[in-house]
Amino acid sequence: MDPLFEIELELPAKGSRDAARSLFEQLKAAILDRRLTAGAKLPPTRKSADFFGVSRNTASEIYDRLLHEGYVVTRHGAGTYVAETLSPHAPSPATARDAEPPDPRLNPFWLRAEVSDALGFWRDHGATATLRTKTTAIDFRPALVDSRLFPFDVFRRVSAKQLRGLERKPARFKSPQGNQGNYHLRAAIGKHIALTRAVVCAPEDVLVTAGAQQAFDLIARVLVTPGETVVAIEDPGYPPMRVPFAAAGAKLVPVGIDEEGLIVDALPADVRVICVCPSHQFPLGVTMSARRRRALVEFARARGAVIVEDDYDGEFRFGTSALAALRTADAADVVFYVGTFSKCMLPSLRLGFIVAPPWALRTLIAAKNGLDWHCAVPVQLGVAAFIAEGHLTHHVRKMRAIYQRRRQLLLRALHEDFARWLEAIPSDYGMHIAASVRGSPDLDAIAERLRERQVKLHTFGRYFCGPATRHGLVFGCGAVDLPEMRRGLAVLREALSA
């Protein structure tokens, strides 16, 4: 009998939304206290799913997290095994308290399965955004950047120059403009997005945030009335974007995507906030058509709603002239434009921004003040100088050419080598490509075979609010160079052919 099935576990109730978290914590505790001994082989996810009474996708998620955190390892063609040596970051048995039932004093919202899924998305990406790991040799996950190519020497130099100019008195070591953000950075942001995204704004229209995630959180705080405000979200969509609106008490309504982007006709009549990625929808990659954009803005105005535009990688466009952002001059009153430096520079900078309608800016600043006063001044000054001296423009131009070559290789492979299994979804933007699956292959089984070969690739399923209505794979181009991409595609071809 498989060792996993011999240990005592509290199996989740059928349909439990907390199943993945509960089973992961119990298995982690069993590994830490050596009830699951080093080198023990785990059964395939299909058998585990049947035993636990959960879906194959949930079982794969549990295995992925155990692998990611260093509790298990994969061996080519042989399966998944308990690690002989645990990661130095793994907690000791005495501190493995997470396996215990949650304390009733905790807010139950943060224990919900859909929230832990979104947090898992952050954890999944953050750990490998800048480092190569032994457990994931070839990483096709979207939303990652190739930090190996960032000009760290240039950024250190411009940042050091700004640091030397800072006021030395501790009482003055803060943003002179308060928590709206450093004026020079806001001015640089305005020039950058005017050039790259046709968004015209003054420095006074910009609020600097701790990444796009804080931008979503601030917008949710000032727009959502708990239990009343209806918020439309793309389905499939970016999981972490849902969390702050749900935490604020919004009624989330998933809205489908077609070849023109968000389906405006499917929006509920009482919607008050509409969250979209119009330039490069995440994860399907479609660009919202000009006709659909006009319809969306007209709908928002007619209904008294607002639009939250997430323009996360709009700088990277390929082969066509760019469609302007939704937040053009005639839509400035209804669009909250959210940008980030995570894709065009580094995610570890934790810098984003909102270009807000004038009527909302003061309230957003007040909400920011209630959280953290302002973003780290040295980082703001360094990024402002990096942009002002032209380094960002140069870096984006260089990375656009590199990502273009990766996209071309991937698209050629999808068209020539994978046409019997996959069909690329047309897209001229961004750092990832989505491909719909032909027929009905078992994508969970394919993902497991890839994981055993140390290739990380996401399916559409993890981005839907509920059961997936479309099936396919999402190929990120950010963290794989051309040789890695060729090796990973060869492994995928073997998995699809099996």
Structure confidence by residue, pLDDT tens digits, 69-84:
888 888 766 789 898 8
Contact 8, 36 (CB under 8 A): no
Predicted local distance difference test score (pLDDT) of residue 299: 96
For residue 273, list its beta bridge partners: 231, 306
- What whole-number percentage of the chain has pLDDT above 90? 52
Torsion of CA 149, 150, 153, 157, to 10 degrees: 160
What is the band of 178 on the pLDDT scale with cuts at 50, 70, 90?
Answer: low
Region 84-96 average pLDDT:
55
What is the band of 119 on the pLDDT scale with cuts at 50, 70, 90?
Answer: low
Contact 73, 3 (CB under 8 A): no
- What whole-number percentage of the chain has pLDDT above 70? 88
Q: How far apart are CA 234 and CA 257, in angstroms?
A: 7
Sheet holding 79-82, edge to edge: 41-42, 79-82, 72-75
Lowest mean pLDDT among 166-170, 262-266, 294-298, 303-307: 166-170
Burial of 233 (0-12, 13-18, 19+ CB in 10 A): buried
131 has a pLDDT exceeding 50? no
Predicted local distance difference test score (pLDDT) of residue 123: 54
Nearest to 202 by CA among 355, 306, 347, 96: 355
Per-residue DSSP letter, 471: -
Q: How far apart are CA 197 and CA 420, in angstroms?
A: 37
What is the band of 288 on the pLDDT scale with cuts at 50, 70, 90?
Answer: very high
For 263-308, the DSSP string reads -GGGS-TTEEEEEE--SS-TTT-PPPPHHHHHHHHHHHHHHT-EEE
Contact 250, 230 (CB under 8 A): yes
Q: What is the pLDDT of residues 409-437, one digit of tens each?
A: 999 999 999 999 999 998 888 889 999 99
Predicted local distance difference test score (pLDDT) of residue 91: 52
Q: What is the pLDDT of residues 197-207, one digit of tens each?
A: 889 999 999 99
Q: How far apart are CA 374 and CA 200, in angstroms?
A: 24
Q: How far apart are CA 436 and CA 283, in angstroms?
A: 11
174 has a pLDDT exceeding 70? no
217 has a pLDDT exceeding 60? yes
Intra-chain end-to-end CA distance of the chain, in Å: 26
Other CB atoms closer than 10 Å to residue 416's CB: what's the count? 8
What the block records as the tokens of 5 is 């099935």
Lowest mean pLDDT among 119-128, 364-373, 386-395: 119-128
| 91 φ, ψ (degrees, to nearest 5) | -70, 155
132 has a pLDDT exceeding 80? no
90 has a pLDDT exceeding 80? no
Predicted local distance difference test score (pLDDT) of residue 441: 80
> What residue ranges define each of the domains in the chain, with the CATH number in brackets?
3-101 (1.10.10.10), 170-389 (3.40.640.10)
pTM, 2 dp: 0.79
Region 228-243 average pLDDT:
95
Nearest to 140 by CA among 491, 437, 422, 478: 478
Predicted local distance difference test score (pLDDT) of residue 127: 39
Q: Which of 3-12, 80-89, 347-356 has the highest mean pLDDT?
A: 347-356
Predicted local distance difference test score (pLDDT) of residue 128: 39
Q: How far apart are CA 225 and CA 215, in angstroms?
A: 17
Q: How far apart are CA 166 and CA 399, in angstroms?
A: 31
Which run of H or E residues covers position 80?
strand 79-82
Burial of 173 (0-12, 13-18, 19+ CB in 10 A): exposed
394 or 441, which is more confident: 394
Other CB atoms closer than 10 Å to residue 7's CB: what's the count? 15
98 or 369, which is more confident: 369
Predicted local distance difference test score (pLDDT) of residue 38: 85
210 has a pLDDT exceeding 80? yes
pLDDT, averaged across the chain: 86
Region 34-61 average pLDDT:
86
112 has a pLDDT exceeding 90? no
- Give CA angle at 16 (445, 136), nearest 5°: 35
Q: How far apart are CA 263 and CA 270, in angstroms?
A: 16
